[in-house]
Amino acid sequence: MDPEIKQQLEEIHALAKDNHRMLRAIRRSQWFGLFGKIIIWAIVLLLPLYLYQLYLQPLVNKVSTGASTTSGFLGLPTSADLQKLINSYTAGK
């Protein structure tokens, strides 16, 4: 084999190996980026729900236990329900 052709063939082989190594690194970086984005979006979307369950829901339940009467038309409170609410409010003062 001609030495010049052999040298070119070795250079091409080295370039192909280097190209393969770089492509694998790029692909690996893309996968890590995808998993990182999934984790970040899961935190961004689920953390408020968790914090609501932990801190705000007990407060909302405490406040709404006396005022959650929806017995009227289309779920609206009746006048008797409103009178009960007013009486409970004025009794608390």
Predicted local confidence at residue 87, as pLDDT: 87
pTM for the whole structure: 0.53
Q: Please write the tens of the pLDDT for every residue from 25-69.
A: 999 999 999 999 999 999 999 999 999 988 888 877 777 765 555
Which one has a higher pLDDT value, 89 or 39? 39
Q: Using pLDDT thresholds of 50, 70 and 90, give the confidence band for residue 80.
A: confident
- Kindly write down the DSSP assignment for every residue of the chain, as one continuous string: --HHHHHHHHHHHHHHHHHHHHHHHHHHHHHHHHHHHHHHHHHHHHHHHHHIIIIIHHHHHHHHTTT----SGGGPPPHHHHHHHHHHHHHH-
Predicted local confidence at residue 78, as pLDDT: 83
